[in-house]
Structures are given as structure tokens and as C-alpha cells.
Amino acid sequence: MKIVSWNANCKFRSKLSEVDALGWDILVVQECENPHNSKDIEYKEWAQNYFWVGGLEYKGLGLFMPVNLEAKLIGQNPMPNKYFITVQLSNGIQLLAVWTQAGSQSSAGYIYQLWEYLKSNEAIFDWDNLIVVGDWNSNAIWDTKRRLGNHTDVCNLLSSKGLVSCYHAQDNIAHGEEVDPTFFMHRNPEKPYHIDYLFAPNRFVSNTERMEIGNKEQWLQLSDHLPISYQLSVGWP
């Protein structure tokens, strides 16, 4: 099962061919338009099986799936204006799509929202079959900004449930020491950060597969983020 996540930096409806070329089975897109209310016919026809959440119709979080895959929403969101989608797939997998946001208070923004969401749904998740993927807007280098619910706290919680980061596991890279950026602030090549992640149960992570991160020269023409993708060892569909 190949999962792709990409913050499209808006106007996703005009970037469908580029993302489809990645050959996804499950696609998570941040900063995309709500297909239901879109006036773009091609986009509406393309988005046949999806969930979407957002505060603005042109800028939300979308989870897109093949038409033959059944999924139902699960979980509860303590911050309904923030962006998480959790689904139970028909193949037994639970998938949590993530796009964290700034908060009304800095201490409650970004990674802290994911921390609260995970804690609120701790008893609901099937941790042995849970995949967490998306734009966290976070890195361990910013841990000192929060006393509780920082990047390391979230990673430690996921680790305690048996989940690993596909990128960090492949070369035993520590959080905060990433050498491959996924985001360039203002599309500036001199301002690189690693803030997009895919966590999965260890048995889904292959010794031969590697996290693919989009080519900077190609994708910075389309967004300030590069897509991440990984082929998980999961039966499909």
C-alpha cells in the first residue's frame, strides 16, 4: 500500500497530474479545495472517494482513496477547527491524516494539537494497525517551545504504541537530525526543514523500501512542500 502525503500550497485542482504520477494508493493533501463545493469539473470527477475537513472551502485537509476502497470515519476531535481525519479502512487499517495549525495561543498550536488528538483517542485507536501521516509543522529542533506535547513527546507516545517513523527508521536517523528536507519556507532553498512524517507499526515497515521525498527542483515550482511517499508492507486493498 503506497501512501503519499503532500501540502499542495493551494490550487491543488491544477496539480492532479503531477500527484497522480506518484502512483498512490492513499493520498493525503493539505491545503486543497473541498471537492464537493468546487466549480472545477475535472477536480470533482477526479475526487470520487474522499474525506475533507477545513475552515476555508479552498484550503483544507483531504484524504483521497480509490473508488473500490471502503472507509468510515472514526475518532473524536477535541479541536474541531483543526485538521485531522481518521478512517477505518476495509482492509483493517486505521489511517490518521494530519495537518496541524497555529493556535490562538502558541503553546496550543501545531504539534500540541496532534498530541491532544492522540491522547483523546488513545482508547479508540487500534494501535497495531494505525498509520499516522501528514504535515505536522513540527520538528524536534523546536521542542523547547513547549513543556508538554512537543515533538519528542508525540514521537515517544507513538513509539510506546509500537509505531515508527518510516524515514527515521531506514537509516536510524534521530529526530532533529534529518538530512532531507520536506519543506522550504517561502520556497527558499536556503530555508529547509523536515516537517512531514509517516508513522506506522514496525511490521508494516520494510527493510528494502525507502521513504521517497520529491525532487526539489520539480516540486518547488508547485508548492513550498515536497511530497513524501512510502510503500508499506500491507495487503491491498
C-alpha cell at 18: 503531477
- Tell me the CA end-to-end span of the chain in Å, nearest whole number: 8
* 198 within a domain of the structure (yes/no): yes
* 132 within a domain of the structure (yes/no): yes
Q: Which of 197, 230, 202, 235 is nearest to 92 (CA)?
A: 235
If one counts the domains in the chain, the total is 1
* 149 within a domain of the structure (yes/no): yes
Q: Which domain holds residue 17?
A: 2-231
What CATH number does the domain containing 43 carry?
3.60.10.10
pTM: 0.96
166-207: pLDDT as tens digits? 999 999 999 999 999 999 999 999 999 999 999 999 999 988
51-81: pLDDT as tens digits? 999 999 999 999 999 999 999 999 888 776 6
* 227 within a domain of the structure (yes/no): yes
* 237 within a domain of the structure (yes/no): no
Give whole-number Cα distances, 112 to 2, 37, 116, 120, 148, in Å: 28, 30, 6, 12, 8
